[in-house]
Chains A and B, each alone.
Chain A
Amino acid sequence: MSPLFPTLLPELALGLGGMALLMFGVLAKGNQFIACSLAAVALFAVTGVFVLLAPAGMVFGGLLTTTDFTRYADVLVLLGAAAALVLSLDYNQREDIARFEFPVLVVMAVLGMIVMISASDMMTLYLGFELQSLALYICAAFARDSLRSTEAGLKYFVLGALASGLLIYGISLVYGFAGTTNFAALAQELNASQGAGYGTVIGVVFVLVGIAFKISAAPFHMWTPDVYEGSPTPVTSLFGTAPKVAAMALLISVMVGPFGHLLSQWQMLIEILSIISMTIGALGAISQTNIKRLMAYSSIGHMGYALIGLAAGTEAGVQATLVYLAIYIVMSFGVFACIIAMRRKGQAVETIADLAGLSTQKPGYALALAVLLWSMAGIPPLSGFFSKLYVFAAAINVGLDTLAVVGVLTSVMAAYYYLRVIKVMYFDSGSPDFDQAAGGVRLVMLAGALATVFFVFIPGPLVSAAGAAARALMG
């Protein structure tokens, strides 16, 4: 058992910081959106330092754990959330939704995610899961005067509540049949009894389904396109990054932790989720004309690829998934920065056709988006290729050739729709006449594109960090 104070520092900082921001926003005069947002970004940076400094160990009698794995996922979550806040600075003001509650909600959502990642007990898991979800439901409906945004929030809430219900039902089944909610105890229990009874397995399936909703793995992806399209774009960019990482990290830590000995029972399920997600992601996006919906299907597909690593069930597989997530969120916030920059005469535009002729008017912007999309399609030498290479290698090494073959086939299909966007930007004639993007947006765009391009030269640090994280979890 570790001392409470330094180990729990990140959670404390976020919780107290979030409440302080709330108080400040309520009591200060005037609209404090910008101040609160910047303070929240700073808070994330500070939390990031705390995360890296926090000693490994358990607190609260085994409710929360800090390891290299949680550090890795925490940093990714903080990065994604900070990028989303930077993107919201300009957008929310222009869309007239610049209220200080937004950064506060994001801080609370991030707190939920961090609790979720660190959870080593079903109860803390659920607690974090719900805190995150509730904050995100409000974020989705944040443009409350917009019909689409309200609809997105409502849809997300109803389906999310269903997912939470399934999750808690699964947890109760597992508790009922295994007699404990603690991860370590569960792992021991499920090992000792030489496999698990049907009740436990059904519980595991429910837990899996509940989390699959959150990572929008098909066939539990129905909410994704609508919510992505309807939410304000910075919120969409948040959905595309931080919660995905958190939920995926949760899925990994639950599946290989307490349920690790049931690999033979859940491996097939993950494979199926992965195959369906990759296929739906590739096919669904082809006919989309709205770029946010396109990104929704793209994210479904990417979660399918990321699941390949988990399906392998090995340390190398977990490492591959973690590498995949890191590369994916960087590409993702880069693309969303490009989408936020699509604004003509003060009006946000969202169709792919609006990008026609972009490469002549704003070559740098077009190149950044092209690089990011190519990377998502998995074309070397961009980072997206290596993330796919790691998961395919992990899958083939344990004999999951089907997954690799399906992954390759869907990559070709997916390349087609990414290519279509690039085609519109580079080959079609038109004059998008986009307004000059705000500094923060351009910064995020540039950071995403540069990281994507230069990963090939220095892959070492990220990959070894992911390796250490996977070792901490499995070893």
Chain B
Amino acid sequence: MNSLGFPILSLITFLPLVGVAFIATLRGDDEAVARNARWGALWVSLVVLALAVYLWVVFDPAQPGFEFVEAHSWLSGLGVQYRMGVDGISLFLILLSAFITPIAIVSSWSINKRVREFMIAFLLLDTMTIGMFCALDFVVFYVFFEAVLLPMYLIIGVWGGERRVYAAVKFFLFTLTGSLLMLLALVWMWRNAGTTDMVTLLHTPIPPQVQTWLFIAFLVSFGVKAAVWPLHTWLPDAYGEAPLPGTIMLAAVLSKMGSYGFLRFTVPMLPHASAVAAPLMFTLGVVAVIYVSLVALAQTDMKRMIAYSSVAHMGLIVVGIFTFTVEGIEGALLQMLSHGFIITGLFICVGVLLARGESMTLSKLGGLAVRMPVYATLLMLFALGSMGMPGTSGFVGEILVIVGAMKVNFWVSLLSATGMVLGAAYMLVLLRAVLFDKTARPSLDGLKDLSAVEFAMLVPLAMMVLWIGIYPTSFTHIFEAPVSAMVQAHFASLTPPLSVPPVSLAMVTK
């Protein structure tokens, strides 16, 4: 039991399941069921958010290591425990998913098809994502990590667009392949350390020769989730075809599962392989930033353009993580949060137009700055955040990553900075096309500005974007300790120049 006297992490994780049970047992006519399912899901997700905020308040940043740790025996015979705990790194990701979920649920209000099932799938998704960030045991982590597939597969496949089936199956098979490779790595590390307790795993040295293999397994697994170039090809399909709330969860939360995996497993547990592979990761990240930004520039569809912008930002996060500098990793973390809020805002802006029956084709939109001034202001804010305007959250994250990269390699930082320029380019193209072009279409004149509900979704996001942008310290002071500990541990494990006993081939293959 932890200092609070009650298992807060399990509560946050499994509370949505109570909502699932409630929604599953709703009776009445379709209309009533749909209404109650929506409100039920929203209330549950709001309670989860309140608990997550409470967690943030009572979290003690001065204390090193994991807090609110819970441990119960679980898989007997294997010695696997159900272990939960948070540190400064996972705390904000829990907050992020708890924050995004209610907004995504509100954005799904317009879904009229099989509402009950949709809300059940969504609450299951909430449980899986939060549980994954709380997990302190590798098996528990893996269960949550992979279980995300089930609700997401259905969300894309049942409520998606025209090519939903293709997108859903592609998403499932890509991520499943990655996860199963991680499963092999997991079992190997399990045998190596004799336990799956992540805290122990963090301190169990792994022979450098094996690290390469484990690194590849993790790279594929987390790289697919984080949509690292060139493992991102499922993403435009999935983002494009998923219903809006699904796209939001994919972009804002699920992609963070991948980058969280890099931070939690790859860098601290495989220091040698990470150090060796850093140039590769820089290359992948930089290619993502530049190439994908160019691809985004070439898009003619608003939703797809934003989807590609997401891949470009994930590239920057990868660069930040593999600098192994405090600035770079903190920048990556801030960028993870910032990207979560900004991309949600942008996708909701897309949804606002969709809800009004507008097309997503950029050339058919225009002049919304006059017709929908409030909408235009908020869209502008998120777009500026996405291109890294000072004062928004995007700036803080990007500048830290670039500073971190500068310490390691001038060219990496230069090329990443180019990404900011390209990001500005496509975002400005998007803004011009949507807000300022003088497209004359009668249907555009009839557009109404934001409704109260849409306003209520966008404003909290905008506030978060500004908060991180103006006063990032309220976030950085919490993950400063774990990040610097991670960086120190990384270099400590590298400095005694590889005095690891020689490993025979037999040990490697076994």
Contact = CB atoms under 8 A, between A and B. Distances in A.
B174 to A, nearest CB: 10
Contact of A427 (B77, B142, B168): B168
B180 A411 contact: yes
A409 B173 CA distance: 12
Interface string B110-145: 000010010000000000000000000001001110
Interface string A442-475: 0000000000000010011001101100000000
Interface string B187-205: 1101100000000000000
Determine chain B's interface SS by DSSP, over half rule.
Answer: helix
Most B-side CB within 10 Å, residue of A360, A393, A404, A405:
A393
B147 A380 contact: yes
B180 A319 contact: no
B339 interface: no
B360 interface: no
Contacts of B183: 389, 392, 408
A409 B180 CA distance: 8
B187 A393 contact: yes
Interface residues of A, number: 39
Contacts of A381: 143-144, 147
A196 to B, nearest CB: 28
Contact of B509 (A359, A401, A415, A428): A401
B83 interface: no
Interface in B247-272: none
Interface in A386-435: 386, 389-390, 392-393, 396-397, 399, 401, 404-405, 408-409, 411-412, 415-416, 419, 423, 426-428
Interface in B58-112: 73-78
Given A392-B183, A459-B76, A363 B165 contact: no
Given A380-B146, A419-B172, A427-B158, A408 B184 contact: yes
A459 B74 contact: yes
A396 B169 contact: no
Interface string B478-510: 000000000000000000000000000000011
Interface size class on chain B is 35 or more
A374 interface: yes
A111 interface: no
A385 interface: yes
B176 to A, nearest CB: 6
A316 interface: yes
A379 interface: yes
B149 interface: yes
B419 to A, nearest CB: 34
Contact of B169 (A419, A456, A459): A419
Nearest to B154: A426
B164 interface: yes
Contact of B176 (A319, A389, A415, A456): A415
Contacts of B73: 460
B75 A386 contact: yes
Contacts of B359: none
Interface in A286-328: 316, 319
B177 A412 contact: yes
Given A390-B78, A412-B180, A419-B172, A379 B147 contact: yes
Contact of A408 (B139, B144, B153, B181): B181
B190 A393 contact: yes
B26 to A, nearest CB: 13
A385 B78 CA distance: 14
Interface string B433-448: 0000000000000000
A374 B177 CA distance: 15
B414 interface: no
Contacts of B153: 419
B11 interface: no
A220 B170 CA distance: 34
B39 to A, nearest CB: 21
Contacts of A397: 191
Given A319-B77, A396-B188, A419-B173, 7 more contacts: A380-B147, A381-B143, A412-B176, A423-B169, A427-B164, A463-B76, A463-B77
Interface of B: 73-78, 114, 117, 139, 142-144, 146-147, 149-150, 153-154, 157-158, 164-165, 168-169, 172-173, 176-177, 180-181, 183-184, 187-188, 190-191, 509-510
21 contacts: A359-B158, A379-B147, A381-B143, A385-B143, A389-B75, A389-B78, A389-B139, A393-B190, A396-B190, A396-B191, A399-B510, A401-B510, A405-B184, A408-B184, A409-B180, A419-B172, A426-B158, A427-B164, A427-B168, A460-B73, A464-B77
Interface of A: 316, 319, 359-360, 363, 374, 379-381, 385-386, 389-390, 392-393, 396-397, 399, 401, 404-405, 408-409, 411-412, 415-416, 419, 423, 426-428, 456, 459-460, 463-464, 466-467
Q: 4 closest A-B pairs (Cβ-Cβ)?
A: A380-B143, A399-B510, A408-B180, A427-B157
